[in-house]
Chain A
Amino acid sequence: MSSLSPHFPALLVVVPLISAPLIVLMRSGLAGWIASLGVAIAALAMAGSLLAQVLLEGTISYAMGSWPPPWGIEYRIDAMGAFVALLVSLIAFFVVPYCRRSVLAEVGEEREYLFYALLMMCLCGLLGMALTGDAFNLFVFLEISSLSSYALIALGRDRRALTAAVRYLLLGTVGATLYVIGVGMLYLATGTLNFADLAPRLTALEDTRAVHAALAFITVGIGLKLALFPLHAWLPGAYTYAPSAVSAFLAATATKVSIYVLIRIYYSVLGPRFVFADLPVGELLIALSVAALFIASAVAIAQRDLKRLLAYSSIGQIGYITLGLGLATEAGLAASLAHVFNHGISKGAVFLVAGMMAFHLGSTRFEALAGVGRTMPLASFAVALGGLSLIGVPGTAGFARKWLLVSAALEAGRPWIAAAVLLSSLLAVAYVWRFVECAYFSEPPEPVAARAPVPLSMMGPALALTALVIAAGLHASPVLETAAAAAAGLMEAGR
């Protein structure tokens, strides 16, 4: 193992990448599932060891194929990249075991192996985005993860999954295209694609229109992918109609990795002084984020379907992340990164549990969920706990966002941002209590004959991830300290 460990940056991407065609060749759902399980476990172990190594020894540079940067593709792993890679592989670790029965029920046996192949492609793309140090390579991984996720969403059993997937495909393609146009402009201006190589060359070119345009293209392009309000139109449908396991996986990882990309470009390529001090990108982000906090959360209250409600909640919660980024301080950045992780596990957990309800009741519409507190006590309690994390109740992972963002806003001398963070969480109380009242205060509909009991392979990961949300809330220091270290590293490099 020790002789392999220097190659973890490559293996973390290559292993899921190779597993995908192998799964297709095997043409067996069970074999695909076992292979995916192995990949998820290996990815988690490698990402964990990478993060530990980066925190101890500093940034790792890995020359792909031994071509030295900037000519070859460099994988450059700092604390933030390893942190995001850990989140992605952690979520995969919980989602893959859950997939088996859920996917059999929702996707069907004949397409099951394709599902696992796509899931591995998506995992490969997301991990690649977190690890690569090359702007064009990042685009390739962005497309790998996006294309596979369009297909994954389209596998949903509701026919509306198809329209949702097409809508995401159109908007996602626009986003990726805008990103690559931006990268192209940077390449024309500097002649390099390596992040570390771009940064010093761009300092001299800051006043050129090409660099300004590149910033705008990249911000809007990645803004589409991360569902920055008002570029979120693709998200509610995609999360609502995708297979349950896909909703959980994408909600917990895809938007988070896109946020990572935005932070990477701002801090490691264009530089925070240029982006936030010379140009008003921070103010723009704050304005859009605050709008997201209130508008998306208010829309969530009006939903009649749990998954859709959670999807709108995600748009609001992403607002908290971009709000911290917009503050453009180290504390704000640390708050953003911590919330990337904390919201990732929280939303992943709630979507997994919602999938249990979809499995047992056939739907997550509130009419079907009425009285679910009595018929599925554990699952309902888990949704309520996850909901408390979305509200940010102390003792859940979500609490840290309030603590850190309010501190960061007060330290930055902007109390009204602190007020927006706090007031908007009242809307979260309202949308979480929509579910609570539906589950515990309404009569269950007429019992449908012989519903399948939720298998342990679904219940186990869903409840374990919920438990992790509570553990990460009670003992939040490890996540918060890692986020703080990542933010400090970015600040240091951006100076």
Chain B
Amino acid sequence: MSLAQLALLALAVPFAGIALIVAAGRHPNLRETATFATAITLFFIVLSLAPAVLAGERPRAVLFEMLPGLDLALEVEPLGWLFAAIASTLWVVSTAYSIGYMRGNQEGHQTRFYACFAAAIGAAIGIAFAGNVLTMFVFYEALTLVTYPLVTHHGDEEARRGGRVYLSYLIGTSIVFLLPAVIWTWLAAGSLDFRVGGLLAGQLESGTAAILLALYMFGIGKAALMPFHRWLPAAMVAPTPVSALLHAVAVVKAGVFAVVKVVVYVFGVDSLAALGGAEWLTAVAAFTIVAASVVALAADNLKRRLAYSTVSQLGYIVLAASLLTPLAVAGAALHLVAHAFSKITLFFVAGAIYTAAHKTLVSQLDGIGRRMPWTMGAFTVGALSLIGIPPFVGVVSKWYILQGVVQAQSWVAGAALLASTLLNAAYFLPIVHAAYFKEPTGEPHGEAPLPMVIALTLTAAGTVALFLFPGLPLAFARSVAGM
């Protein structure tokens, strides 16, 4: 099978999985087996693309012509592979987790849940492997729509309100900012293909470049750049597996992935640096990082605190991309991976606590580390990784971003990173402290169901493994940065 066919297959597998899941809807065990089989198949397909992509091949496949002169097309390049690899790897783990969570909490509409989940992964693969801006935009919008039923899964008034915020921010930004940006690019460049060095390189004046960049950056609402971040905490009404995979991995990573992709392949790092059109972006990202950390500090609801932590961490990636130096771009790509593994662990923990102890507030977590040692151990690992302490993967990406900061001599960025590290510690470590050193309260309980514990242990172990063996993601990240 040719590489291009493999890329098409990667896109087709999740959608074929939907059919299997729906067909097996009445038999939960069969249905979950179908999800697992789909996830594992996808994982191996994506993995099998790695050697060729690393060797410099860029498999291309055209689905069909969508608009005159504009195809719906796929192309696998290093950054996209990295995103697809994260999404497919963590889909496997989170499927195990979902089974434990959905059954443990006796949630309804499980067939719809698994089907939409598969559709969301399919859309994420479409974004990752998009061969041009139009394809990326199509799957970006699809991702918003297929995750809406997941966010509003409970179907109550709170879900409906959360869903409204979710949709209005994501659809609103993409219609009002992103779509005109795409059309403008098409009119200016006569093409929408991603190009090494930048599709728009040499075609823009500095003023228009800044406006177009702003349309893209605020248009990609999934990157949660302030002031368009409120959908992310609103989406926390979803069941926790959704928050974990979609709002730590697929959806938000689709956002920052698109940001990096636009900066690197639409504007071009060097040409944007020459135009000086990204300085404001550094400032906005720095503000987002610090402000979101401050909000996280005050949040008592654990998922809300994690959501604002995500807003802040996404800011890291946008910040790194805005620095426009090779090391910072590599850092941005690496932080996609690092944050995904660390944050999904933390969300898994939040869901495990909810399932085992029915607790949702930070203030209720006194002494919980004694009752759920595995779970809180994993939480500690995830938190330390995000603060940026070895031996966890967070320090690797932070190291690259900091080097990029020095390379770019951007002291705003440096100050924001420093402040945010302190704030990260300030909002994560008290939880760890309370969990281990305070007396437990309330009814005694044990660990969450086994599949959930296995899942969160695996992702926590992943953060260590990626610190010890960062070779593969590092190779891809350096390839993105052209190093």
Contacts and interface: CB of A to CB of B under 8 A. Distances in A.
B255 to A, nearest CB: 17
Contact of A407 (B72, B176, B187): B187
A194 to B, nearest CB: 34
A426 interface: yes
B160 A441 contact: yes
Contacts of A394: 134, 137-138, 141-142
Contacts of B142: 394-395
B183 A475 contact: no
A418 interface: yes
A361 to B, nearest CB: 20
Given A425-B175, A477-B67, A484-B68, A433 B167 contact: yes
Nearest to A411: B187
Contacts of A441: 152, 155, 159-160
A422 B138 contact: no
B175 A426 contact: yes
A399 B112 CA distance: 26
Contacts of A484: 68
Nearest to B71: A477
B269 to A, nearest CB: 27
B145 interface: yes
Interface in A411-430: 411, 418-419, 422-423, 425-426, 429
B141 A477 contact: no
Interface string B298-315: 000000000000000000
Contacts of A474: 64, 66, 72
A486 to B, nearest CB: 14
B446 interface: no
B167 A476 contact: no
Contacts of A419: 180
Given A393-B141, A418-B180, A440-B155, A481 B187 contact: no
Contacts of B164: 433
A467 B280 CA distance: 45
A410 B184 CA distance: 8
B145 A475 contact: no
B203 interface: no
A480 B68 contact: yes
Interface string A459-495: 0000000000000001111001100100000000000
B145 A406 contact: no
Chain A CB within 10 A, most for which of B64, B134, B159, B175: B175
Contacts of A418: 180, 183
Nearest to A473: B66
B66 A429 contact: no
A244 to B, nearest CB: 27
Given A474-B72, A475-B64, A480-B68, A406 B171 contact: no
A406 B181 CA distance: 11
A403 B141 CA distance: 14
A117 B184 CA distance: 50
A283 interface: no
Interface string B131-163: 000100110011001000000100100011000
A410 B187 contact: yes
B172 interface: yes
A207 interface: no
A429 to B, nearest CB: 6
Interface string B90-114: 0000000000000000000000000
B443 interface: no
A391 B176 CA distance: 13
B258 to A, nearest CB: 14
A437 B145 CA distance: 14
Contact of B145 (A388, A407, A480): A388
Contacts of A77: none
A406 B185 CA distance: 12
B168 interface: yes
A394 B145 CA distance: 11
B152 A402 contact: no
B228 interface: no
A400 B70 CA distance: 12
B205 interface: no
Contacts of A426: 171-172, 175-176
A422 B176 contact: yes
A476 B67 contact: yes
A402 B184 CA distance: 13
Contact of B68 (A422, A440, A477): A477
B186 interface: yes
Contacts of B168: 429
B171 A429 contact: yes
Contact of B66 (A423, A433, A475): A475
Contacts of B134: 394
Given A388-B145, A394-B141, A403 B183 contact: yes
A385 B172 CA distance: 18
Interface in A111-152: none
Contact of A477 (B65, B179, B183): B65
Given A403-B179, A426-B175, 20 more contacts: A392-B175, A393-B141, A393-B145, A394-B137, A394-B138, A395-B138, A400-B67, A402-B175, A406-B179, A410-B183, A422-B180, A425-B175, A426-B171, A429-B167, A441-B155, A441-B159, A474-B66, A476-B66, A477-B67, A484-B68
16 contacts: A403-B67, A403-B183, A406-B179, A406-B183, A410-B183, A422-B175, A426-B172, A429-B167, A429-B172, A440-B152, A441-B155, A474-B64, A474-B66, A477-B65, A477-B66, A484-B68
The 10 closest A-B pairs by CB, nearest first: A394-B138, A477-B65, A441-B160, A406-B183, A477-B68, A394-B141, A475-B64, A480-B68, A422-B176, A422-B175
